[in-house]
Every structure is written in C-alpha cells, then in structure tokens.
A and B are shown apart, each in its own frame.
Chain A
Amino acid sequence: DAKTTQPPSMDCAEGRAANLPCNHSTISGNEYVYWYRQIHSQGPQYIIHGLKNNETNEMASLIITEDRKSSTLILPHATLRDTAVYYCIVRANAGNNRKLIWGLGTSLAVNP
C-alpha cells in the first residue's frame, strides 16, 4: 500500500497558484518526499523532492511541515500544461529500499 494519501482531484484557475496536499503520517526519519507528475499517456516526470527543509526549483516549491507528516506542492502560476496527475511518494534514498510505491495521485485540472 502507498504510504501517502492525496485528494483524488483538484481544480485550479490558469495563472493562479495550485497547492496540492499530501499526507504521509507514517514517514520514517530517513525517507524523503518525492513529487512526480504524469501527463496523460506519458511517463511520469520528476518534479521535486525534500527531506525536511522547504525546497524550490524552476518547476515548483515543496513545503514540508515541521513534524514531516504532511507536505504541499505549490505550482506558483499554473498553466494549462500543468494539467496532470500529481503523485506524492515517500522513499528512503539509501539502503535496499529502492522501490517507489505509487498511490493514485491527485488529478489536477487547470482551467482557462
């Protein structure tokens, strides 16, 4: 079973910020939070990951709560091309745990 829970769907207006939540209450101390997105009929695309500090890159920002039990992916200015399924995954970066366990993600619809 996936170690994360996400809302099945969200809507966002074009140009506005999209805030996608993720709960990972059983996360272990050595597990990172990864976000990927999958545009219809394509392979998933890596977006961002973090351990406990907030992270930002050219695609998005990742806000992780202090207790690390939840996080939010922020797309600051959503465009129509950001319409996709967004997956939140927790995974250790070391050791024999090389698997990503995928849930159903959040289907984000960016509307004009």
Chain B
Amino acid sequence: SQTIHQWPATLVQPVGSPLSLECTVEGTSNPNLYWYRQAAGRGLQLLFYSVGIGQISSEVPQNLSASRPQDRQFILSSKKLLLSDSGFYLCASKGQGVSGYTFGSGTRLTVV
C-alpha cells in the first residue's frame, strides 16, 4: 500500500520568506501527485498536479510553484510568502490501479 511522507507538520514563516515543502511517496511507482490547500473551515482546493517527472499542471494562479524532480518526490515552493498563503497543505498520491487517493498528514503553515 502507498505511504506518503510529508514534512514538516507545522511551520511558522514571516511574510516575504521562502517556502519549500517536500512530499515523498512509497509503495507505488509513476503515481499522479497532487498538492492541495485547505483554509480553515473550507474544503480542499487543488493547487497543482503532476502525472510524471517534470510535468506540473497549475490549477489556480498563485504565489506558489511546484516541482517533481523524481518519480516519487513532489515539492511545493514559494520565493516570497504572503499572509494569504497560510493554510493546511496536503500532498496526495494516486497510484496505478489504486482505487482511492492517499493523503499525507499535512503541513500547517502560518505566515506572520
């Protein structure tokens, strides 16, 4: 079965600082990978998805970027954080032949 490692669990960053969140996947190969953000009391919003190494699709205009340097590694980045980037960030994977999506435990980002 798939396992997603996502870190850190919590992060407090000042406005204007850079961001790098990493997600790694075990137990599958060539998965589709996703970054979601969840604001307090809201549903999940898809930010990026990737169907393979170096292939990134952005769903909404934003201050963030994503990269997939390896098959099972997905990185979410920002050069300069904004207050509005605060939220709960979740990495998800859907492996080949797997019914549902597997989610990581999330990173709660607070930009101050």
Residues of A within 8 A of B (CB): 2, 34, 36, 41-47, 49, 87, 98-105
Contact = CB atoms under 8 A, between A and B. Distances in A.
A104 B105 contact: no
Contact of B90 (A43, A101, A104): A43
A105 B103 contact: no
Majority secondary structure of chain A interface residues (helix, strand, loop or mixed): loop
Contacts of A47: 100
A45 B103 contact: yes
Contact of B49 (A49, A99, A104): A99
Given A44-B90, A104-B43, A99 B59 contact: yes
Nearest to B90: A43
Contacts, number: 51
A98 B100 contact: no
B102 A46 contact: yes
B89 to A, nearest CB: 10
A46 B100 CA distance: 6
Q: How large is the interface on B (under 10, 10 to 19, 20 to 34, 35 or more residues)?
A: 20 to 34
A43 B106 contact: yes
Given A43-B104, A44-B103, A46-B100, A100 B46 contact: yes
Contacts of A46: 99-102
A34 B100 contact: yes
Contacts of B72: none
Contact of B43 (A98, A99, A103): A103
